[in-house]
Amino acid sequence: MTEMEHLDIRTVTMGINLRDCADSQIERVCEKVYRKITAQAGRLVETVDQIGAEFGIRIANKRIAVTPVSTIGEACEIHDYPRIGRAVDSAAQDIGIDFIGGYSALIHKGFTRGEDLFLETIPEALSTTERLCSSVNVATTHSGINMTAVARLGHIIREIAGRTAEGGGVGCAKFVVFANAVEDNPFMAGAFFGPGEPEVVVNVGVSGPGVVAQAVRQAGDCDLGELAETIKRMAFKVTRAGELIGREAARRLGVSFGIVDLSLAPTPAPGDSVGEILEAMGLEKAGAPGSTAALALLTDAVKKGGAMASSYVGGLSGAFIPVSEDGAMMEAARVGALSIEKLEAMTAVCSVGLDMIAVPGDTPPETISAIIADEIAIGVVNNKTTGVRIIPAPGKRVGEIVNFGGLLGSAPIMPVNRFSSARFIKRGGRIPAPIQSLRN
């Protein structure tokens, strides 16, 4: 399973509370942030590598999530926020981790003065750092959708792409817009350490789409109920492995164990693909009619198997469908089997949302905002987490390929609807919470 079917622990992510680093002086904030991250996570990489070698399970990534920077920098001026971001990034570099999440803001019901300033600093922060990831939560089922924020984000995403144009707009790959963001997500780029979390914790993100795909192939032409049972049993095994690694890492580091996120997270490597699972289930290509139903079965079976394996399942937990990071999904998009609209439909039943999709660089900001609004509405109405990572690749047109390298992969430029949403988006305000939010 580990050598031939790509079973790995995708990430061990340490969450660190930085609220005690707040200060009125930016120099002190940056110093406190750097010191706390390096003190708490200084042994993270070494410890996790040792555990992986001892247990014979590859642990692909070591990461950190921190308290939203917008919170700890509330007393700062607009030019100070990126300085905190660079201090966070510097700590991550010195520790040796690949990504650190938390250049984030929770603005689902409106903005504080600091958050209003913070949004404008995201392009600078992401273009002047290497490992820093950013996210904003613009909606919850209980509050509705902050459309004023959504309208601004179309312009912000275009600016991020422009500032990182040499990398194909890669800065946008480190930025997520959420509805119903969770506080214990170990996966990047959306990880942050929420206000309900303890001082320091270890969360684990397992993976294993290759293992599940092989199990589906071996199941043969059984009916869909039997197929769901096969996937559930495999998810149980994968989750047990993840909890074992997570608890051992927490013990050796002397911190609390948090959760296992049992999401099936693909990579561009052959055989490590959620799209291949869908095709093994009987679809010619991911995106063909039946894809939403197949993905619903897969996500539900993964959740049921994981819930039986651990009492501490959390994060997002289900199946990711990022286009650039999944070889089969990328190919499906390239040949036209998969459109943005079909992806949007599939996100109603999976873990996240429109993930790592590349669109033409000249896509209007209002259209980007409208795509975000559609996906966020799915999350709000269905009381689930949804997110958007959309990349308007500078200078690229429909049918061309943009390459981001490494785990981020490459993606075909997908067409967007040519009709305008500008008047709708410019209305701003807040879309009210749906009636199902009234549960008290």
What's the pLDDT tens digit per position in 270-296? 777 889 999 999 999 999 999 999 999
Q: What mean pLDDT comes out for the span 150-166?
A: 95
Helix (H, G, I), strand (E, B) or coil at 11: strand
Is 4 a residue whose pLDDT tops 70? no
Kindly state the helix (H) or strand (E) to which residue 260 belongs, with its residue range.
strand 256-261
Q: Which string of DSSP letters, residue by residue, matches 121-148?
A: HHHHHHHS-SSEEEEEEEEETTTEEEHH
Q: What is the pTM of this model?
A: 0.92
**Average per-residue pLDDT for the chain:** 90
pLDDT of 104: 95
Q: What is the 3-state secondary structure (H, E, C) of 33-45?
A: HHHHHHHHHCCHH
Nearest to 184 by CA among 251, 259, 100, 88: 259
Token pair for 222: 């059984």
Least confident span in 84-88, 102-106, 301-305: 301-305
Does residue 304 contact residue 336 with C-beta atoms inside 8 Å?
A: no
pLDDT of 65: 95
Distances 178 to 66, 183, 209, 227, 379 between C-alpha atoms, Å: 17, 12, 24, 32, 9
Nearest to 124 by CA among 166, 81, 74, 91: 81
Nearest to 405 by CA among 135, 206, 169, 185: 169
Helical residues (DSSP H) of 42-183, grouped into ranges: 44-55, 69-72, 81-95, 113-127, 147-163
Cα 278 from chain centre: 21
Does residue 205 contact residue 261 with C-beta atoms inside 8 Å?
A: yes
Q: Domains in the chain, please, with CATH? A: 12-41+61-179 (3.20.70.20), 203-420 (3.20.70.20)
Q: What mean pLDDT comes out for the span 389-407?
A: 89
Ramachandran sector of residue 409 (left: φ over 0; alpha: ψ -120 to 50; beta: rest): left
β-partners of residue 175 are 134
β-partners of residue 354 are 388
CA–CA distance, 303 with 305 (Å, rounded to integer)? 6
Is 145 a residue whose pLDDT tops 80? yes
